[in-house]
Amino acid sequence: MSDMSKALEDIHSSDSLGEKAAIFRSGKANTSGFTSPALIPLRAPFLTPHAPHSRTTTLHKGDRRSGEGDDTLASPVPNPFPELFNSTVSSLVSECLLPWTKSSSTQVIKVYNEDNTSRAVEVPSDITARDICQLFVLKNHCIDDHSWTLFEQLAHLGIERTIEDHESVMEVQSAWGMDSDSRLCFRKNYAKYEFFKKPLDFFPEHMVSISSETNGIMNHSQLIQTFLNSSTCPEIHGYLHAKEQGRKSWKKFYFVLRRSGLYFSNKGTSKEPRHLQFMAEFSDSDVYTLLSDRKLHGAPTDYGFCVKPNKSNSPRDLKLLCADDEQTRTCWVTAIRLFKYGMQLYQNFLQPHQKQKSSPMRSISENSLVAMDFSGQTSRVIENPSEALSVAVEEGLSWRRKSCHRLSSHGSPSTSQGPMASIALHLAQPWFHSKLSREETHRLISQQGLVDGVFLLRDSQSNPKTFVLSLCHMQRIKHFQIVPVEDEGELFYSLDEGHTRFGDLLQLVEFYQLNRGVLPCKLRHHCARITL
């Protein structure tokens, strides 16, 4: 496992895990190594009989007796502009506009977003969840920070789970019932692989037992190696609420999670084999989180999860469990994922970073770029990193002041340029969510991953003149009021009662992305919504 330890150290030492998105061209191989599907409407209205420069085509099935079972065209699609399209492009356009003429190796699926918008996409039958995410990242011009995730949501059961990057999307859909309200959802999940970076935050010491000669000392790489190595025997243990089969009541038991499955003790905290009762194993099951813990399942807390057999969609087959807090639930769910997929999960985590190393983002080495000072009569190289950072910040503030002046002079007759400029700046930022309630804020941040530094800004519901910074720390969501401070006719914003002031919300966010200040942690990941 020494190679894996070295890989973990390389990843932890890297400051940037971003990857530049490649240009997407329909019909050509993209960065994930599969043939790129085309986003298409379910119907092409411009191919109707009334459309100009077109002709109605007749589709018929091939002669199955001769072994040709694919759909074929009776006549080719006419090319109304032969001087603009060559034959290769024309055939490509025909393929995109007439998806129903393709063979059965492709299928049309629908993917939903957080705002309930959806988009139909035709994909190969062997496409994986990572491929789907890559496709939507490129089509929506998103920054690929490796946190985009595909979820399986089963509304009739009130549960959802992360579809692992290597899983076949068609296999997931094949397990759905014909009348079930199931869907695929595309959104960010910063916590998907965070346990590989900070495993000690995900596995509290009092919940983990490891049969190894570590003398009670376990660093992050050793802990992950223990879970991924099939020859070692890690164990997760603790109390959980379990719903009794066929009843509405919940009862608290002491549970033990091992590679062989999930067990509960019928005698206190005893782990003796005669006291452990088998509950579930994971080769043919998946772990889901509950969407409506109290309302739909009558759970005692809001931190429910369940184990569902792959071939069953009946509520009676769900093994419903409930933790007392978010950290405990996260520990159980993460451990089950590791036990089920093992090294495959680690390879999913490494894949984008390995691709980044093999395909450098820039053709010019970053070592050849230096900071320059042009303020004097002669230019000079800035060798001090602190000085280079301060110069960069000052240039950014100077640019913002000029932008604010332009916005206030052209956008409004108001003579107070501070408020108008700040409004124009923060409304366009992806981390600002305007009129978002506290409940919706908790749901959005929880959906996108309860890791340190996930944040968003919103309007205050109690005070319409102020804003609220909602931030996740230690798997808990905290809210900080941003108070406007007026000084000599200028408006500033502050989180610490005016001790640290900022001319607009953009300055405030950028400052706390670099400095923790009065916050429990720096701002790392902003919650963003996109429309498919």
- How many C-beta neighbours within 10 Å does residue 108 have? 13
Q: Are 27 and 124 in contact (CB under 8 A)?
A: no
Correct CATH for 417-526 of 3.40.640.10, 3.40.50.150, 3.30.505.10, 3.30.300.30: 3.30.505.10
The Cα 352–Cα 193 span in angstroms is 12
Vertex 205 angle, CA 203 and 209, to 5°:
90
The per-residue b/e assignment along 313-336, b for 16 or more CB within 10 angstroms, e otherwise, is beeeebbbbbbeebbbbbbbbbbb
Q: Fill in the amino acid letter for 108.
A: V
Tell me what pLDDT residue 376 has.
63
Tell me what pLDDT residue 434 has.
85
Parts of the chain with a pLDDT under 70: 1-104, 211-220, 355-371, 373-379, 386, 389-424, 532
Q: Are 528 and 521 in contact (CB under 8 A)?
A: no
Closest CA to 346 of 222, 193, 150: 193
Domain(s) labelled CATH 2.30.29.30 in the chain stretch across 194-212+219-351
Its pTM stands at 0.69
Q: Are 269 and 276 in contact (CB under 8 A)?
A: no
How far apart, in Å, are the Cα atoms of 439 and each of 327, 442, 445?
19, 5, 10
The Cα 112–Cα 126 span in angstroms is 20
Q: Fill in the amino acid letter for 19.
A: E
Return the percent helix, strand and coil in the chain, to nearest 5: 30, 25, 40
Top-tier CATH class for 194-212+219-351: mainly beta
Domain(s) labelled CATH 3.30.505.10 in the chain stretch across 417-526
Return the structure tokens found at 386.
């602190």
- State the pairing for strand pair 490-494/380-382: unpaired
How far apart, in Å, are the Cα atoms of 529 and each of 152, 236, 242, 454, 488?
18, 35, 35, 14, 38
Packing angle between helix 2-13 and helix 343-358, nearest 10 degrees? 50
Tell me what pLDDT residue 220 has.
65
